[in-house]
């Protein structure tokens, strides 16, 4: 049995980036897998400790990750879990929210940490970042990753976002007011006439929520709000929460 494995869901690369950096600093031998990879289930079953990274949505868990955990409920029992929560602004209890959910399936939470990363919501003008701001955010997150990795190697696991106070912040700060946005998949994804039918969004969507019809992308009602397609559409033809794309960004290694 493997000692540890990394598991992630990442829309625009933030959660993958933080997990990859953290695991490499802890031990370059630890492998990581996306929940979109069928091998991830076997990898979880074969490991003692799971480092799981995800992007917080309104202080809640993306629906795709909720379904992955629920549909594979039998693989979490007695697994030690450390949660990495990435966010653009605020979550309160991002890591605590997921550890509580995993605990309900028998997992054993050992810690959690939050990382601020460039906001993926690219169709809201207030959340737009300049390239210099994005570089600063990533550099600060990387510095924090290195510090957390050293703590973990000394068997000290941070408990960020896991206190009662953090739970109240997450609950009353966002989750109660925006629960309807995350409790089910969204039908709000919009594709404008600027679409050229390149098919990139079809290939990128983790939910297979987009299809091509008559050389135009068509969205269905199973969007998990990861913003992957919106941030990579070459014509900025896709929006979700806003009406116009103001900037596009993906976090790459």
Reference 157, options 43, 4, 54, 41; nearest CA is 4
Backbone torsions φ then ψ of 125, nearest 5 degrees? -60, -35
Q: pLDDT at position 1, please?
A: 61
pTM: 0.94
Roughly what angle, to the nearest 10 degrees, separates helices 14-26 and 131-153? 40
Backbone torsions φ then ψ of 128, nearest 5 degrees? -70, 135
The answer to whether 5 touches 29, Cβ cutoff 8 Å, is no
Last residue of a domain, one of 141, 165, 182: 182
Query: What CATH number should be reported for the domain holding residue 228?
Result: 3.30.70.20
Query: What CATH number should be reported for the domain holding residue 24?
Result: 3.40.50.360
Residue 143: inside a domain, yes or no?
Answer: yes
Domain that holds residue 151: 2-182
Distance in angstroms (rounded) separating the CA atoms of residues 159 and 146: 16
Q: pLDDT at position 66, please?
A: 97
Q: Is 48 in the same domain as 148?
A: yes
Q: pLDDT at position 253, please?
A: 62
What's the total number of domains in the chain? 2
> From the first residue on, what is the mean pLDDT of each consecutive set of 10 residues in the chain (253 residues)?
92 97 97 97 97 95 98 97 94 94 98 96 89 94 97 96 92 86 93 96 98 96 97 97 93 78
Q: pLDDT at position 173, please?
A: 86
Q: Is 97 in the same domain as 207?
A: no
Q: Is 203 in the same domain as 144?
A: no
Distance in angstroms (rounded) separating the CA atoms of residues 140 and 142: 5
> What is residue 187's three-state secondary structure?
coil
Q: Is 136 in the same domain as 207?
A: no
Q: Is 201 in the same domain as 157?
A: no
């Amino acid at each position: 049995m493997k000692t540890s494995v990394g598991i992630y869901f990442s829309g625009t690369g933030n959660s993958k980036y933080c997990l990859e950096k953290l695991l490499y600093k802890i031990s370059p031998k630890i492998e990581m897998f996306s929940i979109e990879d069928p091998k991830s289930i076997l990898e979880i079953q074969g490991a003692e400790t799971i480092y799981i990274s995800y992007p917080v949505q309104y202080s809640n868990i993306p629906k795709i990750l909720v379904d992955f955990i629920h549909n594979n409920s039998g693989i979490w029992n007695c697994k030690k879990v450390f949660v990495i929560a990435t966010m653009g602004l605020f979550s309160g209890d991002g890591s605590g929210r997921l550890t509580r959910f995993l605990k309900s399936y028998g997992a054993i939470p050992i810690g959690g940490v939050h990382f601020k990363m460039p906001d993926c919501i690219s169709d809201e003008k207030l959340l737009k970042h300049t390239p210099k701001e994005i570089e600063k955010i990533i550099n600060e997150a990387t510095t924090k990753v290195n510090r957390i990795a050293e703590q973990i190697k000394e068997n000290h696991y941070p408990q960020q976002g896991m206190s009662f106070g953090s739970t109240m912040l997450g609950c009353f700060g966002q989750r109660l007011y925006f629960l309807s946005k995350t409790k089910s998949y969204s039908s709000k994804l919009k594709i404008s006439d600027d679409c050229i039918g390149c098919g990139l969004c079809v290939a990128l969507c983790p939910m297979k929520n987009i299809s091509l019809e008559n050389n135009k992308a068509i969205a269905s009602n199973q969007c998990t709000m990861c913003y992957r397609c919106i941030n990579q559409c070459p014509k900025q033809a896709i929006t979700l929460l806003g009406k116009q794309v103001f900037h596009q960004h993906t976090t790459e290694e």
